[in-house]
Chain A
Amino acid sequence: MHNFDFVKPSSVADAVRALSAEGAQALSGGQTLLPTMKQRLAAPAVLVSLTGIADTKGVSLSGGALSVGGATTHAVVAQEARKHYPALADLAGGIGDPAVRSRGTIGGSLANNDPSACYPAAVLASGATVITDRRRIAADDFFQGMFATALHDGEIITGVLFPIPEKAAYVKFNQPASRFALTGVFVAKYGSGVRVAVTGASANGVFRWTEAERALSASFTPAAIAGLSLPSEGMIADLHGSAAYRANLARVLTGRGVASAH
Chain B
Amino acid sequence: MTNVTMTVNGKAVSGDVEGRTLLSSFLREGLGLTGTHVGCDTSQCGACVVHVDGKPVKSCTVFALDVAGAAVKTIEGMANADGSLGVIQQAFQDHHGLQCGFCTPGMVMSAAALLADNPKPTESEVRHYLEGNICRCTGYHNIVKAVLAASGQDVAAVAAE
User: CB within 8 Å of B: which residues of A?
Assistant: 1-6, 8, 27, 30-31, 34-35, 37-38, 47, 49, 51, 75, 96-100, 102-103, 177, 179
- A4, B20: Cβ atoms under 8 Å? yes
Q: Are B55 and A8 interface neighbours, CB within 8 A?
A: no
Within 8 A of A (CB), among B13-70: 18-20, 22, 41-44, 46, 49, 52, 55-58, 61-63, 65-66, 68
Closest to A178 in B: B44
Given contacts A3-B19, A31-B43, A38-B42, contact A99 B66 (CB under 8 A): no
- CB pair A100–B58 under 8 Å, yes or no, is yes
Pairwise interchain contact A30-B131, C-beta atoms closer than 8 A? no
Please indicate the chain B residues that have their CB under 8 angstroms from the CB of A3 in the complex: 18-20
* The 7 A-B residue pairs with the shortest CB-CB distance in the complex, in nearest-first order: A97-B132, A6-B19, A102-B55, A99-B56, A6-B65, A4-B19, A97-B131
Q: Which residues of B contact A34 (CB under 8 A)?
A: 22, 43, 61-63
Note all chain A residues with C-beta closer than 8 A to B110.
98-99
Chain B contact residues, CB within 8 Å of chain A: 2, 18-20, 22, 41-44, 46, 49, 52, 55-58, 61-63, 65-66, 68, 110, 113-114, 129, 131-133
Contact A31 B18 (CB under 8 A): no
CB-CB nearest in chain B for A27: B66
A98 touches B66 (CB 8 A): no
A4, A35, A37, A99: the one contacting B46 at CB < 8 Å is: A99
Q: Who on chain B is nearest to A177 by CB?
A: B44
Q: How far is the CB of A184 from chain B (nearest CB, A)?
A: 17
* A31 pairs with B131, CB closer than 8 A: no
Cβ-neighbour of B43 out of A6, A98, A100 (below 8 A): A100
Task: Tell me whether A97 and B46 are in contact in the complex, defined as CB-CB below 8 angstroms, given that A3-B18, A102-B52 are known contacts.
Answer: yes
Contact B65 A30 (CB under 8 A): no
Cα distance A179–B131 in the bound complex, in angstroms:
9
Distance in Å from the Cβ of A219 to the closest Cβ of chain B? Answer: 34
In angstroms, Cα B63 to Cα A35, docked, is: 12
Report whether B20 and A30 are in contact in the complex, using a CB–CB cutoff of 8 Å.
no
Please give, as numbers and ranges, the residues of chain B lying within 8 Å of A177 by CB-CB distance: 44
For A179, list chain B residues within 8 Å (CB).
131
The 8 Å CB contact of B66, one of A1, A31, A49, is A49
**Residue numbers in B under 8 Å from A5 (CB-CB):** 19
Partner of B57, one of A2, A4, A37, A103: A103
Contact across chains for B20 and A102 when beta carbons are under 8 A apart:
no
Given contacts A3-B19, A4-B20, contact A30 B46 (CB under 8 A): no
Indicate if the CB atoms of A98 and B129 lie closer than 8 Å: yes
* B62 with A103: CB separation less than 8 A: yes
- Assess the B56–A102 pair: CB atoms within 8 A: yes
Given contacts A27-B66, A179-B131, 9 further A-B contacts (CB under 8 A): A4-B20, A6-B2, A34-B61, A35-B61, A75-B55, A98-B56, A99-B110, A99-B132, A103-B61
A175 to chain B, nearest CB (A): 12
